[in-house]
Amino acid sequence: MGSSFQYLCHFETDNGSRFFTKCSSTNPATGIPVDAYPTYEDLLQGRNATTATIAKLLPPVPQTSNSIYCVGLNYRSHATEAKLNVPANPPVWTKPPASLASPNETIPVSRFCASHLPDWEGELVFVTSRECRDITPDQAHEYILGYTVGNDLSCRFFQLPEQSGGQFFYAKAFDKFAPIGPVLASPSIFEKQRASATLVTKINGVVKQDTVIAKDMIFPPERVLSWMSQSTTIPAYTVVMTGTPAGVGVFQKPRQLLKDGDQVEVEISGLGTLKNVVRFEEGQDSIM
């Protein structure tokens, strides 16, 4: 299923109306009128077009009520820094729909989350184009609508063995802990840079993660989607976060965890830069 866009943008106007538009770059300009469509289906069909002005970017996905899938230990460098063996298959869990957050959005971090080792994970993200089940890796590209940038925010305390019981859902499922964006790039656009694309995460302008994705990633998106879909129906427009490379805060020496007011920037070649500020609105307790 081919994409009818180069870059898909989802946005809100000053009065709160929401629209989709096609972009010509990874950096949509705010304050400029664009051809806008009330739904993604309208955009596909070229119907119900209007003119609207981008005031705020939203997650670049056609609908936002699906669970978000996540993959762990999918970069050799991250498995090495975590001192964990590379698994035979992609470890998968989900985040609830309420975890989704927008590009440029200030991420409100509760006192509970701020006090339990909040951390960053810059990630390559893809979005499914249609429902799938039991697909092969060779078929998977037919079910990928596009690619974007994500940050799998995590409270590391709840990943500790004595806390987690071996599962990661709780540590990562908090509200607004899955910002993605700024745009969704079509597979044909991303494929041009995929072999050499880099992922770079900066905290307050300081580089923390820097890798060539294709050289470091263990399970490519097609293998991930195939594995997810075995005996499991994956809905159309499911967001899939494909794992993070070395350089997360908990493994820095000494540990460097997120602080109130930190700006996180995740940049992937050909997909743009996802920027978010984290705000500890209720303060923070020391637990360590």
CATH number at residue 132: 3.90.850.10
Q: Quick one: 258 and 234 in the same domain?
A: yes
Looking at the fold, whether 94 and 44 belong to one and the same domain comes out as: no
Q: What separation in angstroms does the CA of 120 have from each of 150, 166, 209, 219, 253? A: 10, 20, 10, 21, 15
- Residues 50 and 110 occupy one common structural domain: no
**Which helix H or strand E contains 34, and what residues bound it?**
strand 33-36
First to last CA, the chain: 50
Asked whether residue 46 falls in the same domain as residue 72, the answer is no
Q: Are residues 51 and 72 in the same domain?
A: no
Whether residues 53 and 85 fall in one domain: no
* 119 and 252 fall within a common domain: yes
- pLDDT tens, 53-67? 999 999 999 999 999
Among 211, 273, 221, smallest CA distance to 246 is for 211
Confidence of residue 164 (pLDDT cuts 50, 70, 90): confident
**What is the domain range of residue 206?**
68-280
> Is 32 in the same domain as 170?
no
User: Does the pLDDT value for residue 23 go beyond 60?
Assistant: yes
Give mean pLDDT, residues 70-80.
96
The total of structural domains in the chain comes to 2
**What percent of the chain lies above the pLDDT cut of 70?**
98
Question: How many CB atoms lie under 10 A from the CB of residue 1?
Answer: 13
3-state secondary structure of 177: coil
Q: Is 27 left (phi over 0), alpha (psi -120 to 50) or beta?
A: beta
Clarify whether residues 119 and 140 are in a common domain.
yes
Contact 5, 22 (CB under 8 A): yes
The structure's pTM equals 0.97
Q: Report yes or no on 2 lying in a domain.
A: no
Position 1 pLDDT exceeds 70:
no
CA geometry: angle 79, 84, 89, nearest 5 deg: 75
Arithmetic mean of pLDDT, 150-155: 98
Q: Are residue 128 and residue 149 in the same domain, yes or no?
A: yes
